[in-house]
Amino acid sequence: MKRILTLLLIVTVFINNGFSQSKAIDILEIKTDEIPSEYKISKKLECQAIQSRILYKNPGLYSFILGELKEKRFQTFKYKGKKGSILYFEFDKEAENGKAFIQATLWGGNRPNRAHPEKIITKGNVMIVLSFPFKSEIGETLTELISKK
């Protein structure tokens, strides 16, 4: 009986770890049928500025403001020579609370610019950073798609 309980416990742990992906991020991620067929998908992180790359690689640096990270993911898209990534972060508290801090951290000012073109959208506990070339068609299209979700 002890062996069966131990086996059930181990199986439960593996199943829970295997299915721990965020449903919140699943809902917000761009699906292939939502984008033009000309858009190419890549598995390489393509941030426009080092600040957004640092945020993705080390979101725990900002946990005192954003809360504890529950999950992170990215999607990278290419179109007409322009490429960039959408960064998804799910925290244990409302993402809007840290938005102004992250905007200042990424932009070094009060709005996106050519050197720091990232756009930030929050949806509940999820913060989404769109890191595409400044005013690029692909960046604008994907920002609109994410904003409508």
Sequential pLDDT tens for the chain (149 residues): 544 434 333 433 343 444 446 799 999 999 999 999 999 999 999 999 999 999 999 999 999 999 999 999 999 999 999 999 999 999 999 999 999 999 999 998 889 999 999 999 999 999 999 999 999 999 999 999 999 99
Q: Domain span at residue 62?
A: 22-147
In a domain, 137, yes or no: yes
In-domain check, residue 2: no
Is residue 12 assigned to a domain? no
Q: How many domains does the chain have?
A: 1
Q: How many angstroms separate the first and last alpha carbons of the chain?
A: 49
**Is there a domain that residue 59 lies in?**
yes
pTM of the predicted structure, to 2 decimals: 0.85
In a domain, 8, yes or no: no
In a domain, 40, yes or no: yes
Check if the beta carbon of residue 49 is closer than 8 Å to that of residue 87: no
